[in-house]
Structures are given as structure tokens and as C-alpha cells.
Structure 1
């Protein structure tokens, strides 16, 4: 049967190669966007003159643009100013900028949620502003950031599929090629793709729950 042929060794190997690219791009983008988001979110929280407002404008701009537009910009517009990026690097840049802006807002909101009374108590006990931020605000804010951060990371992993439009050889790109061999491959291949996405995202959710439980 054609449906069984969809699960051939060659097809599954090809699908897993695409899945590897998806995980690779997602992992790099998660690390970079988390770093960018933490720095930008913290700077915005500290309200540094000129710098914080400028970063605020950048964050709002990126958050309100379609990710697909940012991917197109990184791949096709940057070469006009001398920056040429391949499909993988263009995707990583786009995801880092977009998700970094989202994470920056999560970080800022998490820090703002800490009660002012605790900050005032820390300052009155002799801690500097930086020490208060590092020892009081950030540790508590991090606990509150875990659920939205994990949700954002899951969204990032799923958003890698948008890179199919610039021919990044990721999971959906390879799935499309396999499905192109036979119409009867559509259901089984999409089922495999769904299982792979679900497995990783569910694992992230479980890890986040355990991490959050340990921090309580």
C-alpha cells in the first residue's frame, strides 16, 4: 500500500534530517533570543534615559510585525545593504529579533510584578540598586517568568516552520517534498510531523513544570 510506503526508511530518514534542522535552528534561536530578551527587558525595567525608550520603540515595532515579514526582510532585504544571509542564518536572525522582543516584554513584566515594598526594604537594609536587582528582583521575577517563557519557546519551535517560504530544509520543508511523491503520503507524513512537534513541545512543558516546582 502507498500509505505504508510513506514510512519507508528513506522517507523517515529524510524527515528526521529536516527535524534535526528544526531543532538546531530552534535551539540557537532560543538561546540568542533569551539573551537578547533578558538584556533588553532588564534595561527597559531600569528606565535608563534615552536607551530604555529607544529599546521600547524597537520592541513594540518588532512585536507588532508579522514574523513572516521579518523572515523575508532578513533573507531578501538585508543583501541590499551588503548583509547576505543563507536560509538558516536568516531564519535565526529573524526569530532572534522577533522572539527576543517578545521575551523582553515577558522579562520586563516579570520584574515589574515584584512588590515595591520588597525593593524598598532591600534598599533600606543597605543593598545598592544593582544588588537589589540581582538578589531580590531577578530571582523572584524569574519564577514568575517560567510559564510565559516556556510558552514563547514552544511558539518559537513551531514558528520555524514559516522558514519553508525561504527554502530552509527544516521539518515542514522536507515533509512537503515527501508528500510531493504521492498524494496518499499526505496523512501519514503529516501525522509523523505532528508527533515530532508534539513530543518536543510536551517535553518542554514537563521540564518547565518540574523547574517551576523546584523553585517554589
Structure 2
């Protein structure tokens, strides 16, 4: 094991470049998947005719497909119909669709957990369905969604490593290149990558606990 060679300034810089891509892809995908998940979750919760059925079919299909298949599809299948996505765009699109479907179930469950009595009281006081959803259901539902949402976001961040199959220059991709430069770099490099993933995800879990305690 060559820790000195594996942790050279050049290699560390290369790993940090990969970490930047990992965090960038994860950040964008988290924002987009949360928005998509909210739209799908609210649509299913409110039982909007036709739209709720479409959302249900979409979510069920995506949830039962492997994420790796979606990544391959975005990168290699879409060009067949004239849509060409680079590695970053393909990874973000696949993660957004896949995680959005997962998040929609969290959103739907969170909204459904709000006591029906409060909803009936709001409606009887003169609030419309939209006003009740916005002022009563969403605020309470969102607080209850925090822990599972953060867990899903942590999974999303780890899933960015699957982008290595389409040559996304993320953390694992760059680690693989470093390992390829010397067999003795394998254990030191993987240990450092594991520490990086652990640190980032652990900080997210701490944030989740703090938000959960604040909303308790």
C-alpha cells in the first residue's frame, strides 16, 4: 500500500474535482427530484381526475425499474431519437426521474398523515380545498417528511456513483483512474473515498436530526 503516492497533491486535487461533480449532480438532482416528487405526490393525494391516474402509473413504472437502466437509457437510448445528453445531464435526468418517483410516495404519505379532523375543520370554516392544502396540510405534512426526505437525499448522493458507467467524472470515476495508475493505490484511495462519502452523508444525517428536533 502506497499512501504517500496515492495521496499526492495531484491525486487529491483530482479526487476533489470528482467530489465537486458528485455534489453538483446531487444538488441539482435533489432540487429537481423534490419538485417533481411534490407535484406527483400532491397530484395523487388530491385525486385529480386523470392526472392522479397518470401519476400513479408513472410512479409505479419508475419505482420498479433499476436506476442503472434509466442512466443507460438517458445516455445511450435517447440519442437514437435525436436527444443527446452529456454524462452530467444524463445522470441528473435519470436521478431526477427515479428519485422523484420515490419522493412522491414520501410526500403523499406525509400529506395523508395529517389528521382528517383538521381538514374538515378548515373546510367548515370556509377555506377552499386549495387553501386547506396550502395552509393546513402542507405545513404539517412537510415537517413529518423531513427524516425520510433526508434519507432519500442521502441515497441519491450515493447513487451518483452509478454515473461511472457512463464516464461521469464523479468521485468514484476519478478514484478508479487513480487506482489504475498503481495497484498499490487501491486501498488508500478507496479508504479516502469511503471517508469522503461517510463525512458528507453523516453531515446530512445530523442536519436531518436537527431539523426533526426543531419541528418536534
Aligned to 1:6: 6
TM-score (norm 2): 0.98
Aligned to 2:164: 164
Superposed CA RMSD in Å reads 0.9
Aligned to 1:89: 89
SS at match of 2:49: coil
Tell me which moved more, 150-159 or 116-125: 116-125
Aligned to 2:101: 101
Please list every run of at least 4 consecutive aligned residues from structure 1 whose deviation after the TM superposition is greater than 6 angstroms. none
Alignment of 1:9-158 (within 5 A): 9-158=9-158
Which runs of no fewer than 5 residues in structure 1 stay unpaired? Answer: none
Aligned to 2:210: 210
Q: Is the 8 Å Cα contact of residues 175 and 189 (structure 2) preserved in structure 1?
A: yes
The separation in 2 between residues aligned to 1:191 and 1:2, in whole angstroms, is: 12
The separation in 2 between residues aligned to 1:64 and 1:147, in whole angstroms, is: 23
SS at match of 1:180: helix
How much does 1:181 deviate? 1.1
The separation in 2 between residues aligned to 1:97 and 1:21, in whole angstroms, is: 19
The separation in 1 between residues aligned to 2:78 and 2:118, in whole angstroms, is: 46
The separation in 1 between residues aligned to 2:55 and 2:126, in whole angstroms, is: 31
Aligned to 1:199: 199
String of CA shifts for 1:56-78, please: whole Å, max 9, x gaps.
10011001100000000000111
SS at match of 1:168: coil
Q: Is the 8 Å Cα contact of residues 110 and 144 (structure 2) preserved in structure 1?
A: yes
String of CA shifts for 1:158-213, please: whole Å, max 9, x gaps.
00000100000000000000011111111110111011111111111111111222
String of CA shifts for 1:27-71, please: whole Å, max 9, x gaps.
000000001101111011110101110111001100110000000
Q: Is the 8 Å Cα contact of residues 2 and 188 (structure 2) preserved in structure 1?
A: no
The separation in 2 between residues aligned to 1:81 and 1:182, in whole angstroms, is: 41
TM-score (norm 1): 0.98
How much does 1:118 deviate? 1.2
Across the two proteins, how many residue pairs are aligned to each other?
216
